[in-house]
Every structure is written in C-alpha cells, then in structure tokens.
Amino acid sequence: MKIFKVAALAFFIFLFSPAGAQEIKTAGYKQPEPEVGVIEHLGDTIPLDLWFYNENSEQVTLRSLIDRPTILSFVYFDCPNLCSPLMDGIADVVGKMDMTLGTDYKIITISFNTSDTPEKAKEKKQNFVQRISKENQKDWIYLTGTQENISAITAAAGFKYTPQGLDFAHPSVITVVSPAGKITRYLYGLTYLPFDVKMAVIEAQKGIARPTANRILEYCFAYNPASKTYTLQVTRIVGIITIFFLVLIMIILLARRRKK
C-alpha cells in the first residue's frame, strides 16, 4: 500500500510541475481585418475603466463588475436574427453546467446599439433569465452605453460589426475573460456545449485558486481552434500513464532489492 502512495505522489508531482504542465503555443499570423467578424485578441486585457449603465439605470464600470471569470456577449436588443438565439443559447448552457452562476463565473451582455436603453435592457433580460434561479439572475448583467465606450470595448474584444439600415451585421460569439479582464477564450455559434464553457471558465480562473479536479481537466483537454471545441489530449495522457507505470515499476524493483 505504501508503494502505491509513493507512486501516486510521484505522479501528481510530475503532473503539476512546470515540465509536466508546459503548454504548447502555436505561432499566429496576421490576417486581413474583416468588416464583420472576430479578430481574436487572446491574452489582451480589456479596458476595465469603461463605464456603462446596467439594467437598473446605475452607472457601473467593467472593473466593478468583473471580479471572477466572466462571459461577455455583444448584442442589440431589436436584433431580428442572431441575438435572441445567442442569449437563449447562453441561458440554456447556464442551466446545464455544473458550475454556479455568480459563484464560479458571471455573464455580461453589452448592447452595441446606442439607441438601446436600460429600460429596454431590463425588459430583454427578463426574457432570458427565467431558467436561472432568482438568486443568480443578478449575476447576468445587461449593459448599455455611449458610442465611445461601446467602440472601445468591442475593439478591445475584436468584435467587428457594421450598420445595415436600421439593423447591424455582426458575428455570434461569446468571449471569456479572467478576473483581471484578460481575454482567455472565444466560443462561436448560437449554442454551446456545457463542457466547452466549463473548460473556458476553468482557463479563465488562472488568476485565482483552482480546485485540483479543474487543474486535471485543464491538463487533459485542450482547445482545438479548427473545431472550436475542447479535445482530449490523448498523446499527453498516454505519456503520463507511461511515466506513472515506469515510476511504479522502479519503486517495486527497488523495494524487492531492499528486501533481498
């Protein structure tokens, strides 16, 4: 039994050591900026001193709101196409995740239409928080603001949109930021897998203490830019298992040698 404890200890020391936890970064290349779409600014920090009005007409700064991993979404409230399905997809994944809104993460939805008002934000919010417990509804915050501050936050997030008559052409994406406002992940589409969102939140928790189980998940899964989802790191896991058994065999051989 003691042998297995020593082997397990050696395994976890390797797992969470700098060598074991080293991340492989791929070099990026500059792409022409689209008129509508997303230019990923991973690793950049959003301007936290920008101010907006929340759904209760209170003036707030992003710094005062972002104190834990936060999911950002950009919409406008009279959108006839993407925005309502996007917010419905967020509400759906919140109900399916084994993380608690308000405790583990927050959600901030910002309107990029200067015609939207706090009153309209409050009305729109009520349509999408029905599946969330009442005590957690306050942690999905709806914001409206001036053109200057809207342009600053959308530019910082790489969110590109353009007016089309009375409407706007825009992408469908959620952006995850750390408690310090650093952009850590983009997830695209109108619906989201609970596991993908959970992994994105875990990544954003790097600025705060993380449970051991979350660290193991983060080590075993990695974001795949091609599929826009998280995939199992088979090679890494096989390598860890191989090292674990090699360490175990060495310990057993040494123990037998000592007995002789």
pLDDT digits (tens, 9 = 90+) for 189-221: 999 999 999 999 999 998 654 444 444 555 565
In sign, the C-alpha dihedral spanning 62, 68, 73, 77 is negative
What are the structural domains, with CATH classification, of the chain? 1-30+226-260 (no CATH), 37-225 (3.40.30.10)
Q: Which two tokens stand for residue 78?
A: 């009279």
SS3 call for 25: coil
pLDDT score at 105? 96
Q: Return the DSSP state at 70.
A: E
Confirm if 77 and 116 have CB atoms less than 8 A apart. Answer: yes
127-166 burial string, b = 16+ CB within 10 Å, else e?
Answer: ebbeebeeebbebbbbbbbeeebbebbbebbbbbbeeeee
pLDDT score at 179? 96
pLDDT score at 32? 67
Residue 1, judged by CB atoms within 10 A of its CB (0-12, 13-18, 19+), counts as exposed
pLDDT score at 242? 74
The CA angle 214-219-225, to the nearest 5 degrees, is 105
Low-confidence ranges of the chain (pLDDT < 50): 3-29, 209-215
pLDDT score at 18? 42
- Tell me the sheet residues that pair with 52: 60
pLDDT score at 24? 37
pLDDT score at 22? 41
HEC string for 80-96: CCCHHHHHHHHHHHHHH
